């Protein structure tokens, strides 16, 4: 559904491209993960999806339509996106915050419709935030805040969900809850595109992984194709081994110490 | 915001207006004000109320509404609780435009706001360019510094424009620069009200976009906002409001800072309710401050901008302290 086709992106006044010749697609019904070291271009791809950065060459398309041909509103109706960082300038009530997800579905003067209310309630339920709709965003813990942001994206609707490091700062339980939710959404035929540093979880949940290295695509394929010790060691520039977790049967990355511990 | 909060704000506005009608060099009882409003009673009182004080209060309400709405919109759009047209140098730019128009003898009531608007747009563009050059558009302090610098530049430009004028007109211009409702006329107020109405409607129409811009540019874009276009439109409308207030009553600072904060503290949840509340509260604050300006050292009159600054600066410092 979301397709990057030979995309080259360059920030204004920058000599070198931030990402070059990236081709990958995130189909419906699967989690597609983008991983890679800091600064490898993951968030740049997300910014391009937002139309904040236009491809120098290549195209980003939704079901075959280049997003350059869509308005921001049209894109927002089809792709909900949770950016990496966000801090409201003024504290909001959680329900009002989730309701902002409905922006793309309303007119200039239109109030909340029954469809909006249903989408908001359902999204809150789904993301597990229904019990604190009346709290203010500043009163939320890190985990609650991430789930509220996901709830807003769910209220936004559409067939695709893009998340930029949604589990940063989350503890194990909250992290797993987010991944389980994404898995359930993918099973409902949504396309889930996920930027993450959690390689081990990604290897368990994603159908395919795009590994970025210095703005280029080092590998794109199934978790077993990408989770290879030699490949990851070269990309992350750190000694590591990849084994297979006997309990869950997924590849597991274990970074090594430079020296053997005493 | 709950309906009773709006009612409370309207009562505050009504009380300020009543004080404005009753108090002054000639004090009138509320009963005398009431009959004078309908043309009954002492003819002197009738002419004081209808010809002098009423247009002044009407102008104060319109100016305060404009400043309040402009401040509320700018604070959300710039994600900065200290943003307001005066501190951002927008009002200063408007003053340059207005003074330039007057010194070129284009000072009709209908045209003056347009000249001020051109100056305000120039100033807001400059502020954003300076802030961007400093590399931190998102840092509220950089933006305010840029505003202060552009404001100082605007001040200097006004001084240059006034250099060749007679002592009297310089004095008049300086008085106007410190903010005053003393030149209020019905005709002038009508023009100001029309422009404030246009700017206000534009900002209300942008209410949903402003709400999302307050989340940040990336989240706003993710939710479907064309960030550049929406931001440009907010600056246009907010600058129009600021410029019109300057054309009508000179430089009145801090109203756009104080009023949106009060309204938010009173429970305004959406940008539109904050703007509506700020419009009412702004009117009450300006009319109230004008009463203070006229009465504390009567028969002398204080500059209105000085009164609002005396209220606004401590408030600004409190906010700044909470931010850092």
- Selected from 3.40.50.700, 3.40.50.300, 3.40.50.1010, 1.10.10.10, the CATH number assigned to the domain covering A2-255 reads 3.40.50.300
Task: Look at residue B3 and give its three-state secondary structure.
Answer: helix
Q: Which CATH number goes with the domain that contains B36?
A: 1.10.3470.10
Provide the pairing of β-strand A216-221 with A2-9: unpaired
Structural domain spans, chain A? 2-255
Query: How does the average pLDDT of chain B come out, rounded?
Result: 90
Q: What is the pLDDT of residue B319?
A: 80
Q: Return the HEC string of chain A.
A: CEEEEEEEECCCCCCCCCEEEEEEEECCCEEEEEECCCCCCHHHHHHHHCCCCCCCEEEEEECCEEHHHCCHHHHHHHEEEECCCCCCCCCCEHHHHHHHHHHHHCCCCCCCCHHHHHHHHHHHHHHCCHHHCCCEHHHCCHHHHHHHHHHHHHHHCCCEEEEECCCCCCCHHHHHHHHHHHHHHHHCCCEEEEECCCHHHHHHHCCEEEEEECCEEEEEECHHHHCCHHHHHHHHCCCEEEEECCCCCCEEEEECCCCCCC
Q: What is the pLDDT of residue B277?
A: 96
Domain that holds residue B86: 3-323
Do A132 and A140 contact (CB within 8 A), yes or no? yes
Residues of chain A short of pLDDT 70, as ranges, are: 259-262
Number of domains in chain B: 1
> Which of B76, B217, B221 lies at the smallest CB-CB distance from A90?
B76
Instruction: Show residues of chain B in contact with A47, CB under 8 Å.
Output: 218
User: Structure pTM?
Assistant: 0.91
Do A226 and A220 contact (CB within 8 A), yes or no? yes
Query: How does the average pLDDT of chain A come out, rounded?
Result: 92
pLDDT digit string, tens, across residues B31-53: 888 888 888 888 888 888 888 89
Contact A52 B218 (CB under 8 A): yes
Residue in chain A lying closest to B323 (CA): A89
Residue in chain A lying closest to B206 (CA): A108
Contact A96 B205 (CB under 8 A): no
Question: Smallest CA–CA separation between A160 and chain B, in Å?
Answer: 12
Q: What is the pLDDT of residue B242?
A: 93
Residue-wise pLDDT tens for chain B (324 aa)?
Answer: 788 999 999 999 999 999 999 988 888 888 888 888 888 888 888 888 888 899 999 999 999 999 999 999 999 998 888 888 988 999 999 999 998 888 888 777 778 889 999 999 999 998 888 887 776 555 667 888 888 899 999 989 998 988 878 888 788 788 888 898 988 889 889 999 999 999 999 999 999 999 999 999 899 999 999 998 999 999 999 999 999 999 999 999 999 999 999 999 998 889 999 999 999 999 999 999 999 999 888 788 899 999 999 999 998 888 878 766
A136 touching chain B per CB within 8 A: no
Q: What is the pLDDT of residue B109?
A: 76
A93 touching chain B per CB within 8 A: yes
Query: Which pair of structure tokens corresponds to residue B158?
Result: 């006004």
Do B106 and B115 contact (CB within 8 A), yes or no? yes
Longest CA pairwise span in chain A (Å)? 68
Q: What is the pLDDT of residue B317?
A: 87
Question: Smallest CA–CA separation between B32 and chain A, in Å?
Answer: 44
């Amino acid at each position: 559904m979301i397709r990057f086709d030979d995309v080259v992106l360059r920030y204004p006044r920058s000599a070198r491209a931030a990402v070059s010749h990236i081709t990958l697609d995130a189909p419906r019904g699967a989690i597609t993960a983008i991983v890679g070291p800091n600064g490898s271009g993951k968030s740049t791809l997300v910014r391009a999806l937002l139309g904040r950065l236009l491809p120098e060459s290549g195209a980003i398309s939704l079901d075959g339509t280049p997003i350059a041909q869509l308005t921001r509103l049209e894109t927002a109706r089809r792709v909900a996106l949770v950016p990496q960082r966000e801090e409201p300038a003024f504290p909001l009530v959680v329900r009002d915050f989730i309701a902002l997800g409905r922006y793309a579905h309303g007119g200039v003067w239109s109030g909340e419709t029954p469809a909006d209310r249903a989408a908001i309630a359902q999204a809150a339920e789904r993301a597990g935030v229904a019990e604190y709709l009346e709290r203010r965003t500043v009163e939320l813990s890190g985990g609650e805040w991430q789930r509220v942001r996901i709830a807003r994206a769910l209220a936004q609707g559409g067939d695709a969900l893009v998340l930029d490091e949604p589990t940063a700062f989350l503890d194990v339980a909250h992290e797993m809850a987010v991944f389980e939710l994404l898995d359930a959404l993918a099973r409902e035929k949504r396309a889930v595109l996920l930027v993450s540093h959690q390689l081990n979880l990604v290897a368990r949940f994603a159908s395919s992984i795009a590994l970025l290295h210095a703005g280029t695509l080092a590998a794109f394929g199934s978790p077993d194709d990408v989770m290879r010790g030699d490949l990851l060691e070269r990309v992350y520039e750190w000694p590591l081994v990849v084994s297979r977790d006997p309990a869950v049967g997924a590849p597991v990355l274990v970074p090594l110490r430079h020296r053997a511990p005493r | 915001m709950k309906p009773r909060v709006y009612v409370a704000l309207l009562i505050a506005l009504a009380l300020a207006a009543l004080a404005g009608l009753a108090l002054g060099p000639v004090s009138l009882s509320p009963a005398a004000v009431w009959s004078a409003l309908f043309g009954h009673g002492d003819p002197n009182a009738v002419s004081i109320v209808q010809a002098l004080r009423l247009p002044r209060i009407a102008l104060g309400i319109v100016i305060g509404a404009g400043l309040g709405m402009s401040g509320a919109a700018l604070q959300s759009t710039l994600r900065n609780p200290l943003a307001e047209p005066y501190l951002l140098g927008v009002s200063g730019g408007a003053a340059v435009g207005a003074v330039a128009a007057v010194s070129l003898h284009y000072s009709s009531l209908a045209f003056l706001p347009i000249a001020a608007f051109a100056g305000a747009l120039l100033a807001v563009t400059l502020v954003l360019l300076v802030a961007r050059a400093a590399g931190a558009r998102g840092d509220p302090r950089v933006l305010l510094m840029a505003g202060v610098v552009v404001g100082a530049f605007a001040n200097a430009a006004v001084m240059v424009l006034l250099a060749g004028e007679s002592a009297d007109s310089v004095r008049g211009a300086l008085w106007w620069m410190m903010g005053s409702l003393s030149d209020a006329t019905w005709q002038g107020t009508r023009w100001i009200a029309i422009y404030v109405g246009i700017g206000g409607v534009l900002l209300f129409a942008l209410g949903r976009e402003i709400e999302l811009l307050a989340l940040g540019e990336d989240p706003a874009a993710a939710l479907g906002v064309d960030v550049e276009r929406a931001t440009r439109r907010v600056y246009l409308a907010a600058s129009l409001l600021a410029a019109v207030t300057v054309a009508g009553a000179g430089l009145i600072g801090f109203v756009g800072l104080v009023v949106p904060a009060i309204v938010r503290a009173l429970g305004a949840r959406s940008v539109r309710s904050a703007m509506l509340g700020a419009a009412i509260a702004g009117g009450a604050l300006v009319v109230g401050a004008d009463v203070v300006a006229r009465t504390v050292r009567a028969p002398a009159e204080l500059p209105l901008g000085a009164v609002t600054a005396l209220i606004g600066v401590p408030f600004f410092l409190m906010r700044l302290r909470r931010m850092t």
